[in-house]
Structure 1
């Protein structure tokens, strides 16, 4: 599995991943195209196996370009037939050094990572084990259910 920055040519495949992972959301292609067009504020990486896009991750810089960046792991998705094979974990671990390299181009270093996810999402375990993120708050009925905010500090 190769983890790399998304390209324009990857958008259709990534949109299929988005549509399968987030069926209540719409306009998958447009959503990801907006993120790609907002580079370097949004850093989007794909997991590819040959020509097939199997997953993606979206990192968002929060509150401007700062010497110590706070990033949000905004979205992580893997197509159903590839789930359970460690691709989500690989997207996080392999994209983080690439994110840090992008930050360094602006004389910035990673300070903290923010993640929000449904309170019942088993991915909390993944965020805890890969990033050291801990739940710091719960917001009732934010999107489709309760949402937890997780923070990983001291990411340098």
Structure 2
């Protein structure tokens, strides 16, 4: 993601996360936090269709724990595998950044609403499993998933 992508990515954010506010400010501050946050977009014919935000957790470490912070796809583009491709294609780039800073990937964490069908995507692509459920955290119950010893490449299934 580049600053030129912010307006279009903010529209994806606004449509995907209807309870969240100030989409452009949220994404601009996240993008400005490189390398703690690593941000990518999916584009087709010059249009931003989705984005993924990865966060390094608990400081820069020899073995990094990443959080898949947010993943969003335009509602009109959902069901085409864009979310899967965002994970699968961005994770090697994230690994390259980790190597540049002298780190390797230990685990990936992700949290989402307990009723979000994206849990299957996180299981299939990352091998993430539900570790805990926290009642009424944001807008509903939230599950915390962990992908331990993530394969060299995310699963493209």
TM range (shorter): over 0.9
Matched, 1:134 2:129: yes
Q: Deviations over 1:48-73 (max 9, x none)?
A: 11211000000000011101000000
Cα distance in 2 for residues equivalent to 1:61 and 1:78: 22
Please give the residue correspondences for 1:62-141 in structure 2 after superposition, counting only pairs within 5 Å.
62-141=57-136
2:6 aligned partner: 11
Cα distance in 1 for residues equivalent to 2:33 and 2:45: 26
Number of corresponding residues: 151
TM-score by length of 1: 0.96
SS, match of residue 111 in structure 2: strand
List alignment gaps of at least 5 residues for structure 1. 1-5
SS, match of residue 143 in structure 1: coil
Q: Deviations over 1:88-119 (max 9, x none)?
A: 00000000000000111101011100000000
List alignment gaps of at least 5 residues for structure 2. 153-157
1:59 to 54, 57, 75: 54
SS, match of residue 83 in structure 2: helix
By how many angstroms is 1:74 displaced?
0.6
Please list every run of at least 4 consecutive aligned residues from structure 1 whose deviation after the TM superposition is greater than 2 angstroms.
none
TM-score by length of 2: 0.95
2:22 aligned partner: 27
RMSD after superposition: 0.6
